[in-house]
Amino acid sequence: MSRSAIKKWSLDLNVKDSDVGVPETKLPLPLGMKRVAKIESQLTTSASKSNSQSELSAKEKQRAAAIIKKKSSAAMGLATSPAKSVLMQSFMMYMTGSNLNMMSISVTSMSILNPLKAILGINKQFAKFEDASGKVELQMPKLIFTLLNLVWLAVGLYKMSKMRLLPTTSADWSGRIVWKELMESTSIPPM
């Protein structure tokens, strides 16, 4: 098929300013809609004049409440983020085994250092959610964040104890035991 045949049967339905015809704004309203349009225009002009101040303040209050709600939900999302790390690190520690090698030591040390860093930097992490008016509640998200990081730390310490890197048995402390010197001696000579 040639290009002239395609153009012959195709139509461009986009309205342009240069097209001949009546623009949409000058079309007459359908029957019965003139009165409705007139009432709508009167209501919008009178409502906008009388209630402009109250609507703005109500809209501002709604917007502020929405911002506070979003900040609270984002803070709770940050507070529960260590739970995802706990599961991932637990799986990684399971896969590395209890033998001492470079991978298991690095994974275990990261599972101890990362929660400590997170707990020490808790105010820095939650600073973006603080509100000047103090309406955003951050105590509960901070508490949840701290507890989940402590769980993560406990998992790392458990793994270290299973790798025998923590002194958890009495044999680990045998170097500090003071041995008693015997006060008695026997009359039988040693052979």
Ranges of H-type helices in 80-190: 81-96, 102-120, 122-125, 139-162
Tokens standing for residue 145: 């964040």
Name the band, by pLDDT with cuts 50, 70 and 90, for residue 51.
Answer: low
Q: Are 162 and 94 in contact (CB under 8 A)?
A: no
Tens of pLDDT, residue by residue over 101-124, are 898 889 999 999 999 999 999 999
Element (H, E) at 35: helix 33-50
Average pLDDT, the chain: 80
Helix axes 139-162, 102-120, angle to 10 degrees: 160
The two three-digit tokens of residue 166, written as one number? 């923590």
In which band, very low, low, confident or very high, does the pLDDT at 178 lie, cut at 50, 70 and 90? confident
State percent of the chain over pLDDT 90: 24
Residue pointed to by tokens 């730390």 = 153
Q: Which tens digits make up the pLDDT trace of 121-168?
A: 999 999 888 877 777 888 999 999 999 999 999 999 999 988 888 888
Nearest to 165 by CA among 153, 155, 157, 176: 157
pTM: 0.61
